[in-house]
Amino acid sequence: MRYRVRHTTRYDYASPVSLCHNEARLTPRVLPWQKIETTELTIEPRPAVVSERADFFGNRVTRFSVQEIHLALSVTASTALQTQGRPLPPSEVDKDWQSAASHAPRLPELRQFQLDSPFIMRESALRAFAISSFPPGRPLLEAVGDLNRRIFETFTYDPEFSTLATPVREVLRARRGVCQDFAHLMIGSLRSLGLAARYVSGYLETLPPPGRPRLIGADASHAWVAVHVPNWGWLEYDPTNGNLPGERHLVLGWGRDYGDVPPLKGIMNGGGVHELEVAVDVAPIGDGDEGSRQGALNGI
Amino acid sequence: MESYAPGSAHDALIASDGSVRQRWLPLLHQLAQLGREALVQRADEVQHLLHENGVTYNLPNDEAGSRRQWWLDPLPLVISPQEWQQLEQGLRQRSRLLAAVLKDIYGPRRMLAEGVLPADALYANPAFLLPCDQLLSEDDPGLLLHGVDLTRDARGHWRVLADRVQSPSGVGFALENRIAMARALPDLYRRAPLRRLAGFLSAQHHSLSSLSRLNFDHPTIALLAPGPGHDSHFEHAYLANYLNLALVEGSDLVVRDSRVWMRTLGGLQPVDVLLRHIGDAWSDPLELRGDSLIGVPGLLEAIRAGGVGVANPPGVGGLEHPLIAAHLPILCERLLGETLQIEGVERHWCGQPDGMAWAMAGFETLAFQSLDEGSVLISVADLSEEAASQLRQSIVAHPDRYVAQQLLEAATAPFFSRDCAELTPLSFNVRCFTQAVFDADYRFRAYETMPGGVAWQGAPGSAMRSSQCVKDVWITADQPQPHVSRLRRSRQPLVVTRDGADLPSRVADSLFWVGRYGERLEGRSRLLREALYRLLEQDQEGLADETLIDLLHLMEPDSASPDALPVEPFVAHRERLLALFQESRDGGLPMLISRMVNNCRAVRDHLGDDAWRVFNQLRQESARLPYAGIDQGRRSVETLITQLAAFFGLCNETMPHHFGWRFMDIGRFLERALATLRLLRLALIDSAHAGESLWDVVLTTTDNATAYRRRYRSELHPAAILDLLLFDEANPRSVGYMFKRLERQIERLPQPSNTPYRSDEARLLIKARSALHLADLALLARLDDDAEAKSALSELLDALTAPLERLSLAIEHSHFSHVEAPRQLVPMQAQ
């Protein structure tokens, strides 16, 4: 599939901001199944300093500073990319999950995805929640798939319930949250069982209801999970939708949890209270109605 | 000495055959010559000096009574040249090793890939900061300053207890201890062939300069500290002063164009090198802890871009983790190809089968540390049977979360009792320091050690700040050592650019308030002294003095107007006056003192040592106030007045008369003018009991009684008082003089260039001065019996007060530029 992704973040400040330093992780990663055709980051007002680097996980980070006095900041990432389906592990690598759990500590690069991270702590409650999907000897992929399905089926998607600061424990108790909470919950459950799991940040193309036109800007950032399959690699799961990510899941980057890959963060001097608008548009290229309508903006 | 009986473990003083070790003999001989009485005196003198310089660790809340004093033993810890030579080599090796580990863990992570270091040493290490990955450039030495805590074991072998690399503190204490000892025991110190510390510190300046990438000739170096609330604030101020660095806080700095700049009165000034004394995680709220208010947003990027050099680099704290310590012997073999020279304490990670087996086999005799953040070392021997079994279960369930370590049987060293009557063998810790040194072309050369350190009494591994007793550490030399002056001779021509415009705005702000609170305190003390005198008279003569009511009104800003107050009996007056000695009282002396103290602390490095000494005495005096009665209170107030005069006098004599001093002076005279105007209004207009008694108060509280008598040689007359205290521009206690002085100071403040307009503060002063100059003196002279004159005076006082009240705001607005604290776009800190 070919897509054009436009992700706009706009801050309107109540009082002038004299200086801000920011980091954006808004450029999709290059992957075997994801090719970047063009990508551009537009920042208004124009930043005085811009630099790029790869972070610890290899994600592309754009660092910029706006040094003039401003009342609004807008950051738009615009990327054209092509995706293909992800490869699936052959059945012979799908061993029982306990051997996968004992595999991870031996590889240093996996260990960080197995331990606690700032937003995700291993807990007995998470283990207890997950364990019914993980009876001894069950093949890893079957068990993780079952956990993925259970989160999708028994949790309610509720944007009103949680904030960035809501602990995973609360999400588990209330059985509600958003994609980021479900990803954290699933990662925490897998790590509590000793498995290596990481957080994937990206986008999902949403399909309009049958017979209705696609609304521009109605999409949002999305997050899901990848679990490490020994002797093969990382396999992604999307607990918010209960499926395996495919061509419609576009990957920005990954880390231990949300804190490693926020699309945009910054520190500013001044500003007072601010209003935030985020608009994400994932448009298939060539479907005819690209850019033809101005849709509602969707705040997060 | 006779009673000194060390146990079976190694002792620093007495060898196993019972003889006194050679290196102690000259020192003990001299102490013996001094005699116990003199020694006690000198020891007191040492404590006194330490206290006055105020470098010691102290708690941020500034109740002088609650501040813990540490005691500096007049007997230093003596280390012989041979012993030091070995130790020194080991310390230098350790620094090279830690630098190599640092570069590996934030670089290629070869030791992880090769299985030398377990992944948990980094990924279960909260001080291993992912944003600091690849932060160091190839030629960066990485580790600039390194503190090592050591002790000796029962066999007498030196053992490392811990490495301190995240803003290692203690260099300032070591210096301070040495200076106090040298002053109190000059003979002892001068004659000892003793290695000096000054060379190490002057080299430190060069080392820091070597980190500058953009400015090689005269780099600006700043010491980044968490501020006066931190318990090491005085060490920071002391070091900054000694090393000639600007003492700054995060809010003084800003990153623009990938460089670090300091906000000063003269605008932004570049900073080339930071000596960092704030924790790693707090250094940059953009990439590290987002809730840090003491860091500098964008600092990591400035480091990456080569815009600033930082010692030690953020992320270095990862080296302090017990899992790294446990693997240092093997890391030393693999990274340096050498054997680790100074043994640490034997440690094993329970996450490895061998380590777990070792831990379980010796369980009862070992100590355990969990890898959770902030956990402490638990010795199994100290636990109840039940707690020990719980610990064992917890280790078996999560072996990878524990490190087991051997308990060290420690050697002893002689410590004096407080009365210097006897010596006792006690266990001790020593902190030594190393630093990277560079050649003349600023290329890294080697690590060198500070020939000395701080020793403190306590079980191995106990914290320095929890210790009761510290010692200077003497490295003896074979020959007498040259004395190195504290003022280094520069190898380069001195740049004379100090017009004071490089003063951080925050410092100017604090100095202004030192002036205001100091003056307010003085004025209040003078009023209180008068009030207490009158109270005493009232007690003796049984007569209620109406003047006392007026004085109370002046000192109790929140009370009702004087006319509404009934004449109260003696007891009520006493209660009200004594309330002004209480800490909780708004506008009471302790509160004013604490405000002044807070501002003084923040500018410690701008005040002279003598001023600081007087200031510390003032703080001690103030600690007595809440417990003082009338008599003692009056004496304390008198002392305060003298000390304040001494403090400001010393400031005037020793501070360069640049912007900093001007702001302090403006603060004082602004406050004094306002207080004098209030006093005049009360005495000449508002008071229902106006008369000689009150006028007398006016003259005594302004210390002008003598001047009045000499000039007018007459009965008190209000017009004469006005002449003396309002119009006479030559009398430092007159409002006219104060206006003139304020105007002159304000004219010389930095102004935005190219503006043809006068500043707001200059205009306000012109307004006030004109009102004074245009006053109708003939009319005011009839003040005694003329209602018209009285209302004219009232108008005049208003016209003088109003612009002054706006002046403070105008100055803050023009010069102190209170920046809003940087904030996160989205709060990002995980709970």
Cross-chain CB nearest to B825 (options A65, A67, A265): A265
Q: Are B828 and A262 in contact (CB < 8 Å)?
A: yes
Rounded-to-integer distance, Cα B300 and Cα B290, Å: 13
User: Do A183 and A95 share a structural domain?
Assistant: yes
Residue A297 is assigned to a structural domain of this protein? no
Determine the average pLDDT of the residues in B421-429: 92
**Which residues of A are less than 8 Å from B123 in CB distance?**
108, 111-112, 115
Q: Are A56 and B133 in contact (CB < 8 Å)?
A: yes
Q: Are B298 and A267 in contact (CB < 8 Å)?
A: yes
- Smallest Cα distance from A27 to chain B, Å: 18
- Per-residue pLDDT for B496 more than 70? no
- Per-residue pLDDT for A220 more than 90? no
Task: Give the closest residue to A58 by CA, choosing from A252, A265, A263.
Answer: A252
- Per-residue pLDDT for B753 more than 80? no
Higher local confidence (pLDDT), B567 or B707: B707
Q: How confident is the model at residue B487 (pLDDT cuts 50, 70, 90)?
A: very low
- Per-residue pLDDT for A213 more than 80? no
* Pairing mode of beta strands A176-177, A49-54: unpaired
Domain that holds residue A27: 2-84+262-284
Q: What is the total count of domains within chain A?
A: 2
- Per-residue pLDDT for B518 more than 60? yes
Cross-chain CB nearest to A21 (options B120, B255, B400): B255
Decide if A72 touches B, using CB distance below 8 A.
Answer: no
Q: What is the ipTM of this complex?
A: 0.91
Chain A interface disruption, residue of B130, B261, B825, B829, most A CBs within 10 A? B825
Q: How confident is the model at residue B710 (pLDDT cuts 50, 70, 90)?
A: confident
Q: Are B130 and A67 in contact (CB < 8 Å)?
A: no
pLDDT in tens, B356-368: 999 999 999 999 9
Q: How confident is the model at residue B231 (pLDDT cuts 50, 70, 90)?
A: confident
- Per-residue pLDDT for B106 more than 60? yes
Rounded-to-integer distance, Cα B729 and Cα B370, Å: 71
User: Do A244 and A280 share a structural domain?
Assistant: no
* pLDDT computed for residue B489 by the predictor: 43
> Which range among A84-98, A148-162, B185-199, B791-805 shows the weakest confidence by mean pLDDT?
B185-199
- Smallest Cα distance from A278 to chain B, Å: 13
- Per-residue pLDDT for B57 more than 80? no
- Per-residue pLDDT for B60 more than 50? no
> Which range among A62-71, B88-97, B746-755, B801-810 shows the weakest confidence by mean pLDDT?
B746-755
Cross-chain CB nearest to B830 (options A55, A111, A119): A119
User: Do A128 and A80 share a structural domain?
Assistant: no
Rounded-to-integer distance, Cα A257 and Cα A276, Å: 23
Decide if A187 touches B, using CB distance below 8 A.
Answer: no
* pLDDT computed for residue B306 by the predictor: 92
Cross-chain CB nearest to B819 (options A118, A257, A269): A269
pLDDT in tens, B314-352: 999 999 999 999 999 999 999 999 999 999 999 999 999
- Give the residues across from B456 on adjacent strands: B429, B470
* CB count in 10 Å sphere of residue A98: 17
- Per-residue pLDDT for B65 more than 60? no
User: Do A131 and A233 share a structural domain?
Assistant: yes
Higher local confidence (pLDDT), B488 or A1: A1
> Which range among B94-108, B296-310, B579-593, B730-744 shows the weakest confidence by mean pLDDT?
B579-593
Rounded-to-integer distance, Cα B165 and Cα B753, Å: 44
Q: Are B822 and A265 in contact (CB < 8 Å)?
A: no
Decide if A111 touches B, using CB distance below 8 A.
Answer: yes
Decide if A16 touches B, using CB distance below 8 A.
Answer: no
Handedness of CA B123, B129, B134, B138 (dihedral sign): negative
Q: In chain B, what is the straight-line distance between the N-terminal and C-terminal CA atoms, in Å?
A: 57
Q: Which CATH number fits domain B346-407: 3.65.10.10, 3.30.1490.270, 3.30.460.80, 3.30.450.30?
A: 3.30.1490.270
**Which residues of A are less than 8 Å from B131 in CB distance?**
55-56
- Per-residue pLDDT for B27 more than 60? yes
Rounded-to-integer distance, Cα A71 and Cα B539, Å: 67
- Smallest Cα distance from B257 to chain A, Å: 6
In DSSP notation, B289-353 reads -TT-SSS-TTHHHHHHTTS-EEESPTTGGGGGSHHHHHTHHHHIIIIISS--SS----EEETTSH
* pLDDT computed for residue B819 by the predictor: 59
Q: Are A108 and B119 in contact (CB < 8 Å)?
A: yes
Decide if A169 touches B, using CB distance below 8 A.
Answer: no
Rounded-to-integer distance, Cα B280 and Cα B596, Å: 31
* Measured CA distances, B360 to A244, B101, B274, B390 (Å): 45, 29, 46, 13
What does residue B77 show for φ and ψ, rounded to 5 degrees?
A: -90, 120
Cross-chain CB nearest to B822 (options A112, A257, A269): A269
Ranked by mean pLDDT, the top range of A142-151, B190-199, B288-297, B499-508 is A142-151
What does residue A238 show for φ and ψ, rounded to 5 degrees?
A: -120, 95
* B295, closest residue in chain A (CA to CA): A267
Residue type, B98: L
Higher local confidence (pLDDT), A34 or B500: A34
Residue A52 is assigned to a structural domain of this protein? yes
CB pairs under 8 A between A and B: 102
* Measured CA angle at B744 (ends B741, B748), to 5 deg: 140
User: Do A238 and A182 share a structural domain?
Assistant: yes
Q: Are A21 and B301 in contact (CB < 8 Å)?
A: yes
**Which residues of B are less than 8 Å from A271 in CB distance?**
820, 823
Decide if A181 touches B, using CB distance below 8 A.
Answer: no
- Domain extents in chain B: 77-324+410-475, 346-407, 504-655, 665-750+758-822
Determine the average pLDDT of the residues in A204-220: 75
Decide if A259 touches B, using CB distance below 8 A.
Answer: yes
User: Do A204 and A232 share a structural domain?
Assistant: yes
- Per-residue pLDDT for B53 more than 80? no
- Smallest Cα distance from A292 to chain B, Å: 32
User: Do A223 and A124 share a structural domain?
Assistant: yes
The proportion of chain B whose per-residue pLDDT surpasses 70, expressed as a percent, equals 91
Q: Are B820 and A264 in contact (CB < 8 Å)?
A: no
* Measured CA distances, B567 to A28, B573, B751 (Å): 82, 9, 52
- Give the residues across from A277 on adjacent strands: A10
Determine the average pLDDT of the residues in B170-183: 87
User: Do A256 and A199 share a structural domain?
Assistant: yes
Residue type, A296: A
Determine the average pLDDT of the residues in B615-642: 88
Determine the average pLDDT of the residues in A248-268: 95
**Which residues of A are less than 8 Å from B400 in CB distance?**
105
User: Do A218 and A178 share a structural domain?
Assistant: yes
Tokens 């290695």 belong to residue: B195
The proportion of chain B whose per-residue pLDDT surpasses 90, expressed as a percent, equals 48
Rounded-to-integer distance, Cα B735 and Cα B802, Å: 14
* Measured CA distances, B149 to B159, B175, B194, B222, B345 (Å): 9, 17, 22, 26, 12
User: Do A132 and A34 share a structural domain?
Assistant: no
Determine the average pLDDT of the residues in B521-543: 83
Residue A224 is assigned to a structural domain of this protein? yes
Q: Are A267 and B823 in contact (CB < 8 Å)?
A: yes
> Which range among B104-108, B241-245, B285-289, B391-395 shows the weakest confidence by mean pLDDT?
B241-245
Give chain B's mean pLDDT.
86
Q: Which of residues 125-144 of A touch B (CB under 8 A)?
A: none
Q: Are A22 and B823 in contact (CB < 8 Å)?
A: no
Rounded-to-integer distance, Cα B634 and Cα B13, Å: 51
The chain B residues in contact with chain A (CB within 8 A) are 109, 112-113, 118-120, 122-124, 130-131, 133, 254-258, 285-287, 290, 297-298, 301, 304-305, 400, 819-820, 822-828, 830-831
Cross-chain CB nearest to B831 (options A20, A167, A266): A167
Output the domain CATH number for residue A170. 3.10.620.30
- Smallest Cα distance from B331 to chain A, Å: 17
The structure tokens listed for B330 are 């093997």
**Which residues of A are less than 8 Å from B113 in CB distance?**
108
* pLDDT computed for residue B66 by the predictor: 41
Residue A213 is assigned to a structural domain of this protein? yes
Residue A195 is assigned to a structural domain of this protein? yes
Residue A296 is assigned to a structural domain of this protein? no
Higher local confidence (pLDDT), A298 or B322: B322
Residue B473 host element (H or E):
strand B469-475
- Per-residue pLDDT for B91 more than 80? yes
User: Do A122 and A7 share a structural domain?
Assistant: no
Q: Are B286 and A55 in contact (CB < 8 Å)?
A: no
Q: How confident is the model at residue A299 (pLDDT cuts 50, 70, 90)?
A: very low
Q: Are A65 and B298 in contact (CB < 8 Å)?
A: yes
**Which residues of A are less than 8 Å from B122 in CB distance?**
112
- Per-residue pLDDT for B542 more than 80? no
Decide if A119 touches B, using CB distance below 8 A.
Answer: yes
Ranked by mean pLDDT, the top range of A251-260, B63-72, B201-210, B708-717 is A251-260
Output the domain CATH number for residue A57. 2.60.40.2250
* pLDDT computed for residue A294 by the predictor: 35
pLDDT in tens, B155-166: 999 999 999 999
Task: Give the closest residue to B399 by CA, choosing from B443, B355, B433.
Answer: B355
Residue type, A72: A
pLDDT in tens, A88-126: 999 888 889 999 888 766 788 899 999 999 999 999 999
**Which residues of B are less than 8 Å from A270 in CB distance?**
820
* pLDDT computed for residue B523 by the predictor: 92
Do residues B174 and B454 touch, judged by C-beta distance below 8 A? yes
Cross-chain CB nearest to A21 (options B112, B133, B286): B286
Ranked by mean pLDDT, the top range of B40-49, B300-309, B468-477 is B300-309
Burial per residue of B294-309, b for 16 or more beta-carbon CB atoms within 10 angstroms, e otherwise: bbbbbbbbbbbbebbb
- Per-residue pLDDT for B419 more than 50? yes
- Per-residue pLDDT for B86 more than 70? yes
User: Do A108 and A64 share a structural domain?
Assistant: no
* pLDDT computed for residue B500 by the predictor: 67
Q: How confident is the model at residue A290 (pLDDT cuts 50, 70, 90)?
A: very low
- Per-residue pLDDT for B63 more than 50? no
> Which range among A287-291, B621-625, B802-806 shows the weakest confidence by mean pLDDT?
A287-291
Residue A289 is assigned to a structural domain of this protein? no
**Which residues of A are less than 8 Å from B822 in CB distance?**
267-269
